[in-house]
Amino acid sequence: MRLQHWLTRAVLGFGMTMLIGVGGMQAQSSATIHFDAASKVFRIDAAGTTYAFGINDAGQLQSLYWGEQIGKDDHLSAAHRMAGVASFDSAETTTPNEYAGWGGGLFVEPALKASFADGNRDVVLTYVSHSIRGNELTVRMKDVSLALTVDLHYTVNPGTGIVGRSAVITNDTNTPITIEQAAAATWNLPHGTDYSLRYLTGRWAGEWNLQKQNILPGMTVLESRRGSTGHQNNPWFAIERGEQADEESGDVWFGALAWSGSWRITVEQDQLQQIRITGGYNSFDFSYKLLPGKQLQTPIFYGGYSHHGIGEASRMLHRFELSSILPQAPMPKPRPVVYNSWEATEFAVTEAGQESLAEKAASIGVERFVMDDGWFGQRKDDHAGLGDWYVNQQKFPNGLKPLIDKVHSLGMDFGLWVEPEMVNPDSDLYRKHPDWVLNFTGRPRSEARNQLVLNLARKDVREYVFSFLDDLLSHNQIAFLKWDYNRNWSEPGWPAVAPDEQKAVYIEYVNNLYGILRELRAKHPQVEIESCSGGGGRVDLGILGLTDEVWPSDNTDPFDRLRIQDGFTYAYTPGVMMAWVTDSPNWVNERTTSVAYRFLSSMQGSLGVGANLDKWQPADFATAKEMIAAYKQVRETVQHGSLYRLISPRDGSEASVTESVALDRSQAVLFTFLHSSQMGYPFPRVFLRGLDPQQRYRISAIHGAMAKDTPVEASGSYWMAHGVDVAMRGDMQAAAFRFDSSSNTNPSR
């Protein structure tokens, strides 16, 4: 077993056989879910990870183990409800529950809290039954006296061992139940005080900051109360154990919530040093009236474990997203090179202006031309037009067709910006339907960017939004929608329904958003969609199940982007991370950078161009053409390969380096950045990772130069152990290299 286990790990470490479908690899890993009737222990094994819980003597589900895979024959002792502590901490509190109702004497974070019509607010869940079907386990629990049942769903991804958990709450009583808190899952870690938590914070144009803090007694709350995912926190966490954990070694538990509405993840170290992570709907301002016979389904909370540091944890998430989450999973197409008009023209789009940009974009190898905001209604600026989705006659006298035809004639496909969930008060839609927005009757309606939020929970609003998008896609040859969402909620009232049903807006809104996206995709399967929310305000595993890419930030400064992109990749794959080359000096920091620097920064993700090409010089076009051609040779590796963050741009680092390795290890791409040389020190030697030690790789420069004595070709072990010196000095410098093995037969590389 140890040998077999080591083999699994070795394979994991090199990223060889793990992928299911992505990049042409076949699935070779499998998962097992087993119930031992004697000990009443459930055990889920996949990809070197074991997750186990049992039914304890009180009938509760109790976590037993989550971590590196243990031997097949290793016996996990039956679950035993833990003792309480004195008269103050009850057994409910001290027992690591898989999913606890607030009831009995529970003082830690509950997964479920409910009020019954008779005033009872006590929920104590115990095991009823279970079923195992392939990679899915469902365990039914029920309150000890009332007909409130909870089905806990577990799915396991064979390639990564990532477990997806969610709950379905059913009211089988004959009176309504008010659900006041509903989590998807609680994850428990072994007792200890040497854990640290990583999480992502941000704001508009400053997203994806990686934070790290020790987990101390008490609770850390990561959340959004904004109605959508939000820039402020992202629904992702990672927990490392011990001081030794680093990028490529140590135990890491991680999780991500698939929900694009208000959410909450709590990380708790309780009074007995037990670590619990609970996540699901945000309980703030939450209440869901569950009628008799009805069900409430929670989002899915995914969790995984890595024995090889946070770098491997990220790669597992990347593989999981590409192979199982994205709409095109398990084989997402590479993202095309995009041109987007926003920074060039803002709202001043016209047929002639867009055609001129399109010609120039096509000349450098762009594959998709996207017209951003400004093409519809009376949209001169951000004060008017949202909601009126007809083509602006002054700007496009003959509709969109001439521009779309022109874009097609240039060999590109056409994409269009929309912001379907919003309305400007200065719009025909709002004048006709002022009741369609989120609002409290008779109260002020707070505007942000001069717009209000349409209440998508309403049936009529949902129908309107679906039908205008359906029309747009049915009557125009559109290959791509950039779906924007430029504010968060205020006054989240829904006056059309009874007061005790209004808070359901937090759930129904998002479910209708998902429903619209799902139906549009089914009816227009050729259309790809980007999730954008003033940059990275709506990025999560829920929206990623229905969109093909995301816009991580409105901040397009290529230097800031290094940190933004670094933070992004902790949770999300570079395969969905759009990154544009824009103008210099950049509007964010007035920083000046070369065209090559801007390209190399953007080439770490899905490359786009957002510069005003009408102002470019011939030399800029020449560089762009070369860079785009080079990118097309490596994009499969960058977008779908294994990412190694070799030197982080965080914490004032003077240098940063990333490496992407193709899944079959036939190619690697290295991006190196020097922020400013100091004291004449050389650039740190770069030690590659993840190559096949036996294969020989030829190095070539995409841009910049390696040290003169660098061999033209060497083994994978040479590049990993000896490393490579990059010849780079100065300020805001960048270089990139590719390493191709002799077995690289893929013509696109």
User: Nearest approach, Cβ of 563 to ligand DGJ (angstroms)?
Assistant: 18
Please tell me whether residue 625 adopts helix, strand or coil conformation: helix
- Choosing from 551, 616, 697, 737, the residue that interacts with ligand DGJ (CB under 6 A) is 551
User: Nearest approach, Cβ of 204 to ligand DGJ (angstroms)?
Assistant: 9
Q: Which residues make beta-bridge pairs with 686?
A: 724
- Choosing from 425, 535, 567, 608, the residue that interacts with ligand DGJ (CB under 6 A) is 535
Task: Record the tokens describing residue 562, joined without a space.
Answer: 């290094």
Angle at 661 between CA 656 and CA 666, to 5 degrees: 140
Q: Which is nearer to ligand DGJ, 340 or 667 (CB)?
A: 340
Task: Record the tokens describing residue 602, joined without a space.
Answer: 């953007």
Q: Which is nearer to ligand DGJ, 565 or 660 (CB)?
A: 565
Q: Which is nearer to ligand DGJ, 135 or 531 (CB)?
A: 531
Contact (Cβ atoms closer than 8 angstroms) between residue 646 and residue 658: yes
Stretch that binds ligand DGJ, among 158-166, 527-535, 629-637, 741-749 (CB under 6 A): 527-535
Q: Which is nearer to ligand DGJ, 418 or 520 (CB)?
A: 418
- Choosing from 89, 207, 413, 484, the residue that interacts with ligand DGJ (CB under 6 A) is 484
User: Nearest approach, Cβ of 565 to ligand DGJ (angstroms)?
Assistant: 16
User: Nearest approach, Cβ of 190 to ligand DGJ (angstroms)?
Assistant: 42
Q: Which is nearer to ligand DGJ, 110 or 385 (CB)?
A: 385
Cα separation, 152 vs 625, whole angstroms: 53
Strands of 549-550's sheet, edge to edge?
A: 549-550, 528-531, 480-483, 413-418, 368-371, 338-340, 606-609, 578-581
Number of residues interacting with ligand DGJ: please give it, by CB under 6 A.
11
Q: Which residues make beta-bridge pairs with 736?
A: 671, 703
Q: Which is nearer to ligand DGJ, 231 or 360 (CB)?
A: 231
Stretch that binds ligand DGJ, among 72-80, 159-167, 529-537, 611-619 (CB under 6 A): 529-537
- Choosing from 286, 342, 506, 616, the residue that interacts with ligand DGJ (CB under 6 A) is 342
Q: Which residues make beta-bridge pairs with 673?
A: 656, 734
Select the residue whose beta carbon is closest to ligand DGJ and give its number.
373
User: Nearest approach, Cβ of 537 to ligand DGJ (angstroms)?
Assistant: 9
Q: Which of residues 367-396 bind ligand DGJ (CB under 6 A)?
A: 372-373
ω before 585 within 30° of 0 (cis)? yes
Q: Which of residues 417-446 bind ligand DGJ (CB under 6 A)?
A: 417
Q: Which of residues 403-422 bind ligand DGJ (CB under 6 A)?
A: 417
ω before 330 within 30° of 0 (cis)? yes
User: Nearest approach, Cβ of 414 to ligand DGJ (angstroms)?
Assistant: 16
Cα separation, 189 vs 292, whole angstroms: 36
Q: The dihedral of CA 470, 472, 477, 481: what is its sign?
A: negative
Cα separation, 566 vs 605, whole angstroms: 10
Stretch that binds ligand DGJ, among 140-148, 302-310, 532-540, 631-639 (CB under 6 A): 532-540
DSSP one-letter string for 698-714: EEEEEESEE-TT--SEE
Q: Which is nearer to ligand DGJ, 350 or 594 (CB)?
A: 350
DSSP one-letter string for 482-542: EE-------S---TTS-GGGGGGHHHHHHHHHHHHHHHHHHH-TT-EEEE-BTTBSS-STT
User: Nearest approach, Cβ of 403 to ligand DGJ (angstroms)?
Assistant: 18
| DSSP assignment letter at 420 | T
User: Nearest approach, Cβ of 485 to ligand DGJ (angstroms)?
Assistant: 9
- Choosing from 164, 176, 299, 534, the residue that interacts with ligand DGJ (CB under 6 A) is 534
Stretch that binds ligand DGJ, among 528-536, 583-591, 601-609, 647-655 (CB under 6 A): 528-536
User: Nearest approach, Cβ of 514 to ligand DGJ (angstroms)?
Assistant: 21
Angle at 434 between CA 433 and CA 436, to 5 degrees: 70
Angle at 125 between CA 120 and CA 126, to 5 degrees: 140
* Residues present in the chain in total: 749
User: Nearest approach, Cβ of 424 to ligand DGJ (angstroms)?
Assistant: 12
For the window 68-107, what string marks contact with ligand DGJ as x by the rule CB under 6 A? Answer: ----------------------------------------
| 388: annotated active-site residue | no
H or E element at residue 549:
strand 549-550
Using CB under 6 A as the binding rule, whether residue 532 contacts ligand DGJ is answered as yes
User: Nearest approach, Cβ of 233 to ligand DGJ (angstroms)?
Assistant: 19
User: Nearest approach, Cβ of 349 to ligand DGJ (angstroms)?
Assistant: 11
Show contacts of 630-633: CB within 8 Å, 24+ apart.
630/603, 630/702, 630/703, 630/736, 631/337, 631/599, 631/603, 631/607, 632/337, 632/365, 632/748, 633/738, 633/748, 633/749
For the window 234-273, what string marks contact with ligand DGJ as x by the rule CB under 6 A? Answer: ----------------------------------------
| Distances 216 to 196, 256, 336, 544, 715 between C-alpha atoms, Å | 9, 21, 45, 33, 46
Q: Which is nearer to ligand DGJ, 283 or 486 (CB)?
A: 486
Catalytic residue (one of 143, 373, 484, 548): 484
Write phi, then psi, for 163 (nearest 5 degrees): -100, 135
Cα separation, 516 vs 611, whole angstroms: 32
Determine how many CB atoms are found less than 10 A away from the CB of residue 76: 17
Determine how many CB atoms are found less than 10 A away from the CB of residue 578: 21
Determine how many CB atoms are found less than 10 A away from the CB of residue 346: 13
Q: Which of residues 607-666 bind ligand DGJ (CB under 6 A)?
A: none
Contact (Cβ atoms closer than 8 angstroms) between residue 458 and residue 505: no
Q: Which is nearer to ligand DGJ, 290 or 532 (CB)?
A: 532
- Choosing from 170, 233, 486, 710, the residue that interacts with ligand DGJ (CB under 6 A) is 486
Q: Which is nearer to ligand DGJ, 43 or 487 (CB)?
A: 487
Q: Which is nearer to ligand DGJ, 181 or 345 (CB)?
A: 345
Stretch that binds ligand DGJ, among 275-283, 307-315, 355-363, 530-538 (CB under 6 A): 530-538
Cα separation, 671 vs 637, whole angstroms: 13
Cα separation, 390 vs 375, whole angstroms: 9
Catalytic residue (one of 251, 540, 554, 566): 554
Amino acid occupying residue 92: E
| 554: annotated active-site residue | yes
Q: Which is nearer to ligand DGJ, 551 or 644 (CB)?
A: 551
Q: Which is nearer to ligand DGJ, 586 or 666 (CB)?
A: 586
Of 660, 710, 718, give the one whose Cα is nearest residue 690: 660
User: Nearest approach, Cβ of 382 to ligand DGJ (angstroms)?
Assistant: 7
Residues lying near ligand DGJ in the complex (CB under 6 A) are found at 342, 372-373, 417, 484, 486, 532, 534-535, 551, 554
Residues carrying an active site annotation:
484, 554
